Amino acid sequence: MSYKWLKWLILWIPTVTIGLWEYVRHAVLLPYVSMELGNILAPALVFVVTLTLLRGLFAKLEQTQDSLHRERVAKAAFEEREQLARELHDGISQSLFMLSVKLDRLERETADPKALATAEEIKTTVRRVYDDVRQQVESLHHSPLPAMQPWLQSIHHLTAEMEQTSGIQSSVDWKLNEDVLSPKQKVELLAIMREALMNVQKHARAERVIVRGGQLPFSAGTAGDEAAFYCQIEDDGIGVPSDGLDKQGTYGLKMMRARAEAMRWSLDVSPAYSHGMIVTIRGKGATK
C-alpha cells in the first residue's frame, strides 16, 4: 500500500466509522438505544476501531517513513561522495598529473646524476599517490549501499566486486542484525570495509578473504540502549606490519582509522593466526 493511501485511510476511517454509526443508530437502533447511550457508544466505537485497524495502519506508515528516511540518508551520502570524487579528480588528480609532466621535463633538461635520481624518486612517489587518488575516485563513484539493497546484500555485492577485479575468493560470515547500525553507520562501515578489501588486493597477495560481523555482549563497553558490534576482514596473504601500509606509500590505513575515529569506533590491524592479516572494527551501534 502506498504512502498516500495510508494517509487517506487514517484520515477517513474515523469519519466513516462515525457516519455509519450515526446512520445505523437513527435508522435501526433508535427504538432500542437512547440518545445518551448512543453518545457514549460513539467515542467507544471509534476507540475500538483505532486500537484494531488504525494501529496497524500507523505501524505501516512508520515503516514507510523509516524506509524513506533511509533512502534520503543514502542518497545524500552518495551525492556527497560524488562531489568529493569530482573535487579529487579536478583538483588533486590533475595537479599530480601536471607535477609528473614537469618532472619529465626536468629529467630531460638536467644531466646531474643525483638530480636525476631524486627526480625519479619523486616521480615514483607521485605515481603511487596518483594511483591511490584514482582508486579513491573510483571507489567514491560507487554507491555506499548499492541500489538501496538490504545491508547483507550490500556486503555480498562488495565482496563479489572484489572477486571480479582481483580473483581473490571471499566468504561472508555475517551475524550482525541490520537494526544495530544506523544508516550513516552502515555507510561509514561499508566504506571502511571497501578500503580494507582494496588494501588486500594491492598489498596482501592473498588468495582468500573472510568478512565477519556480529554483536558483542553488553559488557563490552556499551551503555544505555546502545549495542556493541565487531567487524573483521581476514586474509591469508603475506601479512603486513602495523606500519607497513603507511611505509608502502598508501593512505588506506590512515583513511580507515580516520573514519573509525570519526564514528568513535576502534580499528586494529593484527597478524592472523596462521598467516595474513586481520582488520578489526569495534564500536557502538545506533541508540534504539
Is there a single domain that holds both residue 179 and residue 251?
yes
What confidence tens digit (pLDDT) does each residue in 162-195 have?
888 888 999 999 998 888 888 778 888 988 898 8
Domain boundary residue, one of 122, 141, 160 = 141
Parent domain of 211: 146-288
How many alpha carbons fall within 13 Å on the CB side of residue 221? 11
Is there a single domain that holds both residue 121 and residue 158?
no
What is the widest separation between alpha-carbon atoms in the chain? 115
Residue 200 pLDDT > 80: yes
Is there a single domain that holds both residue 90 and residue 130?
yes
Nearest CA-CA partner of 131 in 100, 167, 163, 172: 100
| Local confidence band at 209 (pLDDT 50, 70, 90 cut-offs) | very high
Is there a single domain that holds both residue 115 and residue 181?
no
pTM for the model: 0.52
What confidence tens digit (pLDDT) does each residue in 146-171 have?
444 567 888 888 888 888 888 899 99
Is there a single domain that holds both residue 77 and residue 213?
no
Give the single-character DSSP code of 16. Answer: H
**Minimum mean pLDDT range among 24-38, 104-118, 244-258:** 244-258
% the chain with pLDDT above 70: 76
Give residue 38's pLDDT: 76
**119 CB contacts (<8 Å, ≥6 apart)?**
103, 106, 107, 110
